[in-house]
Amino acid sequence: MNTKIIEMPEDDHMLLRVRVAFLQKATTLHAWCIANNIDPAGAHRALTGKWAGPKATMLAQKIIAAAGIAEK
């Protein structure tokens, strides 16, 4: 069996961790964003660092807390 390891950009690790955490709560990041009046695309950019201003940092921290994971 040939196992291939998928390499992911470092910026996507937090996004993946958040998505998994929401799935473990039987919901999704997208559903949480809609329920909290947050643009899912903005959330994605904040979590991957493509949007990195003060508001993005606050949004990312809010999402990470809602997902129930601890930042490294």
Contact (Cβ atoms closer than 8 angstroms) between residue 20 and residue 10: no
* pTM to 2 decimal places: 0.82
Query: What's the domain count of the chain?
Result: 1
Domain boundaries, position 63:
16-67
Instruction: Report yes or no on 52 lying in a domain.
Output: yes
In-domain check, residue 46:
yes
| Residue 32 included in any domain | yes
Q: Express the helix, strand and coil content of the chain in percent, nearest 5 each.
A: 60, 0, 40
28 occurs within a structural domain: yes
Q: Does 34 reside within a domain?
A: yes
Q: Is 4 inside a domain boundary? A: no
Residue-level pLDDT at 70: 78
Q: Which two tokens stand for residue 4?
A: 């291939």
Q: Let me know if residue 7 belongs to a domain.
A: no
Grouping H, G, I as helix, E, B as strand and the rest as coil, residue 15 is: helix
Q: Band of the pLDDT at 5, cuts 50, 70, 90?
A: low
Identity of the residue numbered 16: L
Q: Residue 6 — pLDDT band, cuts 50, 70, 90?
A: low
